[in-house]
Amino acid sequence: MEEDIDVPSHTEGLNGLSRECKPVDDITNGHSNHKPLMNGLIVSHNVRDPPNGSTPLTSLPISALKQNGLLQTLAAGGDQLQPAEENVELEKAREEWEALENVQPALCEDSNPTPIISFNEALQFFQTTDLGDLLKNIQPTIRRTGLAAITHFLFGPPRLHRELMQERDLVFAIAQCHVDNSQTVHMRVLQTIYKRLIGSRLDCPRFGAHWENIGFQGTDPATDLRGTGFLGLMHTLYFVMDPETLPLARDIYKLSQHPTQNFPFSVMSINMTRIALQVLREEALSKECNRRQQVVGVLNEFYVATYLHLYQLWKTQQKTIVDSGFVLKEVELFAKKNPKQMLRRLEVFLKERRCGGIPRGTSPDPQAQQGSPSLGGRAGTGLGGRAGKEMHFTGVCDLPPDMEGEARLI
Protein backbone atom coordinates (compact mmCIF):
# COMPACT_ATOMS: atom_id res chain seq x y z
CA MET A 1 0.00 0.00 0.00
CA GLU A 2 1.43 3.28 -1.10
CA GLU A 3 2.03 5.97 1.42
CA ASP A 4 1.86 9.62 0.63
CA ILE A 5 5.30 10.99 0.94
CA ASP A 6 5.41 14.58 2.09
CA VAL A 7 8.43 16.16 0.45
CA PRO A 8 9.17 19.77 1.40
CA SER A 9 9.61 22.03 -1.57
CA HIS A 10 12.63 23.81 -0.12
CA THR A 11 15.22 22.56 2.33
CA GLU A 12 18.56 23.80 3.37
CA GLY A 13 21.22 22.25 1.13
CA LEU A 14 24.92 22.38 0.67
CA ASN A 15 26.64 25.49 2.01
CA GLY A 16 23.40 26.90 3.30
CA LEU A 17 21.93 27.31 -0.18
CA SER A 18 18.31 26.58 -0.89
CA ARG A 19 17.77 23.06 -2.18
CA GLU A 20 14.66 22.45 -4.20
CA CYS A 21 13.12 18.97 -4.21
CA LYS A 22 10.77 18.26 -7.08
CA PRO A 23 8.40 15.24 -6.92
CA VAL A 24 8.66 12.61 -9.61
CA ASP A 25 5.48 10.83 -10.66
CA ASP A 26 7.13 7.46 -11.33
CA ILE A 27 7.45 5.30 -8.20
CA THR A 28 9.29 1.99 -8.58
CA ASN A 29 9.25 -0.94 -6.10
CA GLY A 30 7.57 1.20 -3.51
CA HIS A 31 10.44 3.70 -3.42
CA SER A 32 10.15 7.27 -4.46
CA ASN A 33 12.42 8.58 -7.21
CA HIS A 34 12.61 11.92 -5.48
CA LYS A 35 16.08 13.43 -5.98
CA PRO A 36 16.97 16.72 -4.36
CA LEU A 37 18.05 19.48 -6.70
CA MET A 38 20.54 22.23 -5.95
CA ASN A 39 20.76 25.12 -8.38
CA GLY A 40 19.22 22.93 -11.06
CA LEU A 41 21.57 19.92 -10.48
CA ILE A 42 20.62 16.64 -8.82
CA VAL A 43 22.49 16.16 -5.56
CA SER A 44 23.36 12.68 -4.36
CA HIS A 45 22.07 11.66 -0.92
CA ASN A 46 25.56 10.63 0.15
CA VAL A 47 26.67 14.29 0.25
CA ARG A 48 26.17 15.61 3.74
CA ASP A 49 25.28 19.15 4.53
CA PRO A 50 27.80 21.02 6.60
CA PRO A 51 26.69 21.55 10.16
CA ASN A 52 26.50 25.31 9.98
CA GLY A 53 26.34 25.94 6.23
CA SER A 54 29.28 28.29 6.43
CA THR A 55 31.69 26.50 4.07
CA PRO A 56 32.04 28.57 0.88
CA LEU A 57 30.96 26.88 -2.31
CA THR A 58 34.26 27.64 -4.00
CA SER A 59 36.15 25.59 -1.43
CA LEU A 60 34.84 22.32 -2.90
CA PRO A 61 37.26 21.11 -5.61
CA ILE A 62 36.07 19.53 -8.84
CA SER A 63 37.80 16.28 -7.85
CA ALA A 64 35.47 16.09 -4.87
CA LEU A 65 32.45 16.85 -7.00
CA LYS A 66 33.24 13.77 -9.08
CA GLN A 67 32.07 11.70 -6.13
CA ASN A 68 28.64 13.19 -6.62
CA GLY A 69 26.07 10.69 -7.79
CA LEU A 70 25.18 12.72 -10.87
CA LEU A 71 28.77 12.97 -12.00
CA GLN A 72 29.25 9.26 -11.47
CA THR A 73 26.26 8.72 -13.68
CA LEU A 74 27.73 11.04 -16.29
CA ALA A 75 31.05 9.24 -16.15
CA ALA A 76 29.22 5.95 -16.70
CA GLY A 77 27.79 7.31 -19.90
CA GLY A 78 24.28 7.94 -18.57
CA ASP A 79 23.19 4.30 -18.80
CA GLN A 80 20.98 4.67 -15.78
CA LEU A 81 18.84 7.33 -17.44
CA GLN A 82 16.72 5.94 -20.22
CA PRO A 83 14.94 8.77 -22.03
CA ALA A 84 16.80 9.92 -25.14
CA GLU A 85 16.23 13.56 -24.36
CA GLU A 86 17.83 13.17 -20.95
CA ASN A 87 20.77 11.26 -22.44
CA VAL A 88 21.51 14.21 -24.73
CA GLU A 89 21.35 16.64 -21.83
CA LEU A 90 23.57 14.42 -19.68
CA GLU A 91 26.13 14.09 -22.45
CA LYS A 92 26.28 17.85 -22.80
CA ALA A 93 26.61 18.21 -19.03
CA ARG A 94 29.42 15.63 -18.94
CA GLU A 95 31.37 17.48 -21.65
CA GLU A 96 30.93 20.75 -19.80
CA TRP A 97 32.25 19.28 -16.56
CA GLU A 98 35.25 17.72 -18.25
CA ALA A 99 36.02 20.98 -19.99
CA LEU A 100 35.63 22.88 -16.73
CA GLU A 101 38.19 20.69 -15.00
CA ASN A 102 40.77 21.20 -17.74
CA VAL A 103 40.37 24.94 -18.08
CA GLN A 104 43.33 26.84 -16.68
CA PRO A 105 43.03 30.50 -15.72
CA ALA A 106 44.53 32.71 -18.43
CA LEU A 107 45.31 36.40 -18.25
CA CYS A 108 44.15 38.44 -21.18
CA GLU A 109 46.68 40.87 -22.61
CA ASP A 110 44.70 43.80 -21.34
CA SER A 111 43.55 42.27 -18.05
CA ASN A 112 46.50 43.68 -16.16
CA PRO A 113 48.28 46.24 -18.35
CA THR A 114 51.44 47.94 -17.18
CA PRO A 115 50.49 51.28 -15.62
CA ILE A 116 51.79 54.32 -17.45
CA ILE A 117 54.44 56.38 -15.72
CA SER A 118 54.80 60.14 -15.47
CA PHE A 119 58.04 61.95 -16.20
CA ASN A 120 58.34 63.07 -12.57
CA GLU A 121 57.96 59.53 -11.27
CA ALA A 122 60.64 58.25 -13.64
CA LEU A 123 62.92 61.15 -12.72
CA GLN A 124 62.43 60.44 -9.03
CA PHE A 125 63.58 56.88 -9.67
CA PHE A 126 66.91 58.13 -10.98
CA GLN A 127 67.20 60.73 -8.23
CA THR A 128 66.97 57.97 -5.62
CA THR A 129 69.21 55.49 -7.46
CA ASP A 130 72.92 55.25 -6.79
CA LEU A 131 74.55 56.54 -9.97
CA GLY A 132 77.98 57.02 -8.44
CA ASP A 133 79.81 54.86 -10.97
CA LEU A 134 78.19 56.69 -13.87
CA LEU A 135 78.93 60.11 -12.44
CA LYS A 136 82.64 59.31 -12.61
CA ASN A 137 82.47 59.10 -16.42
CA ILE A 138 80.38 62.16 -17.31
CA GLN A 139 81.66 65.20 -19.16
CA PRO A 140 79.26 68.02 -18.22
CA THR A 141 81.21 70.83 -19.93
CA ILE A 142 83.46 71.23 -22.95
CA ARG A 143 87.12 71.06 -22.09
CA ARG A 144 88.82 74.16 -23.43
CA THR A 145 92.48 75.01 -23.28
CA GLY A 146 94.68 77.93 -24.19
CA LEU A 147 93.15 80.86 -26.00
CA ALA A 148 89.76 79.13 -26.36
CA ALA A 149 89.47 78.81 -22.58
CA ILE A 150 90.38 82.47 -22.05
CA THR A 151 87.94 83.65 -24.72
CA HIS A 152 85.16 81.55 -23.28
CA PHE A 153 85.83 82.85 -19.79
CA LEU A 154 85.79 86.50 -20.91
CA PHE A 155 83.09 86.49 -23.58
CA GLY A 156 81.27 83.21 -23.23
CA PRO A 157 77.98 82.48 -21.47
CA PRO A 158 77.80 82.66 -17.69
CA ARG A 159 78.77 79.66 -15.66
CA LEU A 160 76.04 77.52 -14.17
CA HIS A 161 75.23 78.32 -10.55
CA ARG A 162 76.91 75.98 -8.14
CA GLU A 163 73.61 74.84 -6.59
CA LEU A 164 72.46 73.59 -10.02
CA MET A 165 75.54 71.53 -10.83
CA GLN A 166 74.27 68.42 -9.07
CA GLU A 167 71.08 68.50 -11.15
CA ARG A 168 73.11 69.02 -14.32
CA ASP A 169 75.36 66.09 -13.44
CA LEU A 170 72.30 63.89 -12.88
CA VAL A 171 71.20 64.62 -16.45
CA PHE A 172 74.52 63.47 -17.85
CA ALA A 173 74.50 60.41 -15.58
CA ILE A 174 71.07 59.38 -16.94
CA ALA A 175 72.56 59.80 -20.41
CA GLN A 176 75.04 57.07 -19.41
CA CYS A 177 72.35 54.63 -18.23
CA HIS A 178 71.45 51.61 -20.31
CA VAL A 179 68.02 50.00 -20.53
CA ASP A 180 67.71 47.36 -17.83
CA ASN A 181 65.04 44.73 -18.47
CA SER A 182 64.92 43.88 -14.77
CA GLN A 183 63.97 47.43 -13.79
CA THR A 184 60.22 47.91 -13.65
CA VAL A 185 60.54 51.67 -14.15
CA HIS A 186 62.56 51.17 -17.34
CA MET A 187 59.93 48.86 -18.77
CA ARG A 188 57.11 51.20 -17.79
CA VAL A 189 58.81 54.06 -19.61
CA LEU A 190 59.04 52.02 -22.79
CA GLN A 191 55.43 50.85 -22.53
CA THR A 192 54.17 54.37 -21.83
CA ILE A 193 55.92 55.85 -24.86
CA TYR A 194 54.50 53.15 -27.11
CA LYS A 195 50.96 53.43 -25.76
CA ARG A 196 50.81 57.22 -25.87
CA LEU A 197 52.05 57.42 -29.46
CA ILE A 198 49.98 54.54 -30.79
CA GLY A 199 46.94 55.38 -28.68
CA SER A 200 46.70 51.87 -27.24
CA ARG A 201 46.05 50.68 -23.73
CA LEU A 202 47.54 47.23 -24.33
CA ASP A 203 51.09 46.25 -23.45
CA CYS A 204 53.45 45.24 -26.21
CA PRO A 205 56.27 42.66 -26.10
CA ARG A 206 59.70 43.82 -25.02
CA PHE A 207 61.18 42.80 -28.38
CA GLY A 208 59.55 42.79 -31.78
CA ALA A 209 58.95 44.57 -35.06
CA HIS A 210 56.24 46.71 -33.45
CA TRP A 211 58.99 49.06 -32.15
CA GLU A 212 59.71 50.00 -35.74
CA ASN A 213 56.16 51.36 -35.90
CA ILE A 214 57.19 54.25 -33.63
CA GLY A 215 60.48 54.86 -35.35
CA PHE A 216 63.12 52.64 -33.78
CA GLN A 217 65.49 50.92 -36.17
CA GLY A 218 64.94 47.36 -35.06
CA THR A 219 63.25 45.02 -32.65
CA ASP A 220 65.05 46.36 -29.57
CA PRO A 221 64.83 50.08 -28.74
CA ALA A 222 67.87 49.83 -26.47
CA THR A 223 70.20 49.46 -29.46
CA ASP A 224 69.38 53.00 -30.61
CA LEU A 225 70.14 54.70 -27.30
CA ARG A 226 73.91 54.70 -27.12
CA GLY A 227 75.07 58.26 -27.24
CA THR A 228 72.08 59.54 -25.24
CA GLY A 229 71.45 56.57 -22.95
CA PHE A 230 68.17 56.46 -21.08
CA LEU A 231 67.88 60.24 -21.36
CA GLY A 232 66.71 59.67 -24.94
CA LEU A 233 63.69 57.79 -23.56
CA MET A 234 63.16 60.29 -20.76
CA HIS A 235 62.83 63.14 -23.23
CA THR A 236 60.35 61.20 -25.34
CA LEU A 237 58.44 60.34 -22.16
CA TYR A 238 58.24 64.02 -21.26
CA PHE A 239 57.08 64.82 -24.80
CA VAL A 240 54.16 62.35 -24.72
CA MET A 241 53.14 62.82 -21.07
CA ASP A 242 52.94 66.60 -20.90
CA PRO A 243 49.36 67.59 -21.86
CA GLU A 244 50.58 70.66 -23.74
CA THR A 245 53.21 68.89 -25.82
CA LEU A 246 51.40 65.59 -26.48
CA PRO A 247 49.39 67.00 -29.45
CA LEU A 248 52.64 68.24 -31.00
CA ALA A 249 54.28 64.85 -30.42
CA ARG A 250 51.40 63.15 -32.23
CA ASP A 251 51.55 65.67 -35.08
CA ILE A 252 55.24 64.93 -35.54
CA TYR A 253 54.57 61.21 -35.30
CA LYS A 254 51.86 61.55 -37.96
CA LEU A 255 54.28 63.35 -40.27
CA SER A 256 56.84 60.62 -39.67
CA GLN A 257 54.34 58.16 -41.18
CA HIS A 258 53.82 60.28 -44.32
CA PRO A 259 54.14 58.35 -47.62
CA THR A 260 56.95 60.56 -48.93
CA GLN A 261 58.09 62.70 -45.98
CA ASN A 262 58.43 59.83 -43.53
CA PHE A 263 61.29 59.52 -41.07
CA PRO A 264 62.00 57.35 -37.99
CA PHE A 265 60.27 59.25 -35.19
CA SER A 266 62.16 57.75 -32.24
CA VAL A 267 65.57 57.83 -33.89
CA MET A 268 65.01 61.47 -34.79
CA SER A 269 63.91 62.15 -31.22
CA ILE A 270 67.15 60.66 -29.94
CA ASN A 271 69.03 63.04 -32.23
CA MET A 272 67.13 65.96 -30.70
CA THR A 273 68.26 64.75 -27.27
CA ARG A 274 71.85 64.55 -28.53
CA ILE A 275 71.68 68.15 -29.75
CA ALA A 276 70.12 69.34 -26.47
CA LEU A 277 72.84 67.59 -24.48
CA GLN A 278 75.56 69.19 -26.55
CA VAL A 279 74.06 72.67 -26.13
CA LEU A 280 73.91 72.09 -22.36
CA ARG A 281 77.50 70.85 -22.36
CA GLU A 282 78.63 73.98 -24.20
CA GLU A 283 76.92 76.02 -21.44
CA ALA A 284 74.63 77.77 -23.90
CA LEU A 285 71.67 76.99 -21.63
CA SER A 286 73.35 78.10 -18.41
CA LYS A 287 71.84 81.59 -18.46
CA GLU A 288 68.29 80.26 -18.78
CA CYS A 289 68.94 77.56 -16.17
CA ASN A 290 70.23 80.19 -13.75
CA ARG A 291 67.22 82.41 -14.39
CA ARG A 292 64.72 79.62 -13.75
CA GLN A 293 66.83 77.86 -11.11
CA GLN A 294 66.46 74.46 -12.75
CA VAL A 295 68.21 72.33 -15.33
CA VAL A 296 65.92 69.40 -16.12
CA GLY A 297 62.92 71.59 -16.95
CA VAL A 298 64.93 73.87 -19.23
CA LEU A 299 66.53 70.93 -21.01
CA ASN A 300 63.15 69.24 -21.53
CA GLU A 301 61.71 72.35 -23.14
CA PHE A 302 64.80 72.86 -25.25
CA TYR A 303 64.50 69.29 -26.53
CA VAL A 304 60.86 69.92 -27.52
CA ALA A 305 61.80 73.27 -29.08
CA THR A 306 64.49 71.57 -31.17
CA TYR A 307 62.08 68.89 -32.38
CA LEU A 308 59.50 71.58 -33.16
CA HIS A 309 62.07 73.46 -35.22
CA LEU A 310 62.91 70.35 -37.22
CA TYR A 311 59.21 69.51 -37.65
CA GLN A 312 58.32 72.93 -39.03
CA LEU A 313 61.25 72.83 -41.44
CA TRP A 314 60.58 69.26 -42.52
CA LYS A 315 56.89 69.87 -43.14
CA THR A 316 56.90 73.28 -44.82
CA GLN A 317 59.94 72.62 -47.03
CA GLN A 318 58.81 69.12 -48.01
CA LYS A 319 61.95 67.45 -46.70
CA THR A 320 62.45 63.72 -47.09
CA ILE A 321 64.70 61.16 -45.50
CA VAL A 322 67.49 61.86 -48.02
CA ASP A 323 67.70 65.40 -46.61
CA SER A 324 68.07 64.26 -43.01
CA GLY A 325 71.83 64.60 -42.67
CA PHE A 326 71.92 68.19 -43.86
CA VAL A 327 68.77 69.15 -41.93
CA LEU A 328 70.13 67.75 -38.67
CA LYS A 329 73.38 69.64 -39.13
CA GLU A 330 71.60 72.94 -39.71
CA VAL A 331 69.18 72.40 -36.81
CA GLU A 332 72.12 71.72 -34.51
CA LEU A 333 73.99 74.84 -35.58
CA PHE A 334 70.95 77.05 -35.12
CA ALA A 335 70.16 75.51 -31.73
CA LYS A 336 73.65 76.21 -30.44
CA LYS A 337 73.65 79.81 -31.62
CA ASN A 338 70.07 80.72 -30.70
CA PRO A 339 68.96 78.76 -27.62
CA LYS A 340 66.89 81.64 -26.26
CA GLN A 341 65.13 82.11 -29.59
CA MET A 342 64.38 78.37 -29.76
CA LEU A 343 62.71 78.42 -26.36
CA ARG A 344 60.78 81.55 -27.24
CA ARG A 345 59.44 79.97 -30.44
CA LEU A 346 58.18 77.00 -28.48
CA GLU A 347 56.47 79.29 -26.00
CA VAL A 348 54.71 81.20 -28.80
CA PHE A 349 53.75 77.98 -30.57
CA LEU A 350 52.11 76.48 -27.49
CA LYS A 351 50.36 79.76 -26.69
CA GLU A 352 48.87 79.99 -30.18
CA ARG A 353 47.74 76.40 -29.93
CA ARG A 354 46.04 77.01 -26.60
CA CYS A 355 44.14 79.90 -28.18
CA GLY A 356 42.85 77.58 -30.90
CA GLY A 357 44.81 79.11 -33.76
CA ILE A 358 47.08 77.45 -36.33
CA PRO A 359 50.65 77.89 -35.11
CA ARG A 360 52.99 79.47 -37.57
CA GLY A 361 55.37 77.20 -39.39
CA THR A 362 52.99 74.24 -39.65
CA SER A 363 50.96 75.27 -42.73
CA PRO A 364 51.45 73.05 -45.78
CA ASP A 365 50.64 76.06 -47.99
CA PRO A 366 53.22 76.21 -50.81
CA GLN A 367 53.61 79.94 -50.17
CA ALA A 368 54.94 79.07 -46.74
CA GLN A 369 57.52 76.69 -48.17
CA GLN A 370 60.30 79.22 -48.31
CA GLY A 371 63.79 79.07 -46.96
CA SER A 372 63.96 79.00 -43.21
CA PRO A 373 65.79 82.09 -41.95
CA SER A 374 67.31 79.89 -39.30
CA LEU A 375 68.77 77.49 -41.82
CA GLY A 376 69.77 79.91 -44.54
CA GLY A 377 68.56 77.46 -47.16
CA ARG A 378 65.73 77.18 -49.66
CA ALA A 379 63.35 74.39 -50.49
CA GLY A 380 64.29 72.41 -53.53
CA THR A 381 67.93 73.48 -53.60
CA GLY A 382 69.17 70.04 -54.49
CA LEU A 383 70.59 69.24 -51.09
CA GLY A 384 69.57 65.61 -51.32
CA GLY A 385 72.82 64.39 -52.86
CA ARG A 386 74.93 65.91 -50.15
CA ALA A 387 72.55 64.73 -47.49
CA GLY A 388 72.54 61.24 -48.84
CA LYS A 389 76.28 60.99 -48.27
CA GLU A 390 76.12 62.38 -44.74
CA MET A 391 73.13 60.33 -43.57
CA HIS A 392 73.74 56.88 -42.24
CA PHE A 393 71.96 54.71 -39.72
CA THR A 394 74.52 53.55 -37.23
CA GLY A 395 73.09 51.81 -34.26
CA VAL A 396 74.83 53.16 -31.31
CA CYS A 397 78.02 54.77 -30.43
CA ASP A 398 79.02 56.95 -27.57
CA LEU A 399 79.85 60.36 -28.85
CA PRO A 400 83.50 61.28 -28.29
CA PRO A 401 84.14 65.02 -27.89
CA ASP A 402 85.58 65.39 -31.38
CA MET A 403 82.51 63.85 -33.04
CA GLU A 404 79.67 65.40 -31.09
CA GLY A 405 79.10 68.14 -33.64
CA GLU A 406 78.58 65.64 -36.46
CA ALA A 407 74.98 65.52 -37.61
CA ARG A 408 73.58 62.11 -38.35
CA LEU A 409 70.78 59.76 -37.50
CA ILE A 410 72.37 57.78 -34.71
What gap in Å lies between CA 165 and CA 162, rounded to an integer? 5
The 8-class DSSP code of residue 160 comes to P
367 burial level (CB within 10 Å; 0-12, 13-18, 19+): exposed
Dihedral of CA atoms 74, 80, 84, 90 in degrees, nearest 10, equals -20
Q: What pLDDT score was predicted for residue 89?
A: 74
**Cα 74 from Cα 206, distance rounded (Å):** 47
Q: What is the pLDDT of residue 265?
A: 97
Structural domain boundaries of the chain? 119-356
Provide the 8-state DSSP code for 318: T
Q: Is 4 exposed, middle or buried (0-12, 13-18, 19+ CB in 10 A)?
A: exposed
Which residues are 279's β-sheet partners? none
Torsion angles phi and psi, residue 118, rounded to 5: -80, 165
> Would you write out the chain's pLDDT as a tens digit for each of its 410 residues?
445 555 555 544 444 445 454 444 444 444 445 545 454 444 444 544 554 544 444 444 544 544 555 444 444 444 444 556 667 777 777 776 666 544 444 434 445 889 999 999 999 999 999 999 999 988 888 776 677 667 666 666 788 999 999 999 999 999 999 999 999 999 999 999 999 999 998 999 999 999 999 999 999 999 999 889 999 999 999 999 999 999 999 999 999 999 999 999 999 999 999 999 999 999 999 999 999 999 999 999 999 999 999 999 999 999 999 999 999 999 999 999 999 999 999 999 999 998 876 666 555 443 333 333 333 333 333 333 333 333 333 333 334 433 344 444 55
Q: pTM of this prediction?
A: 0.64
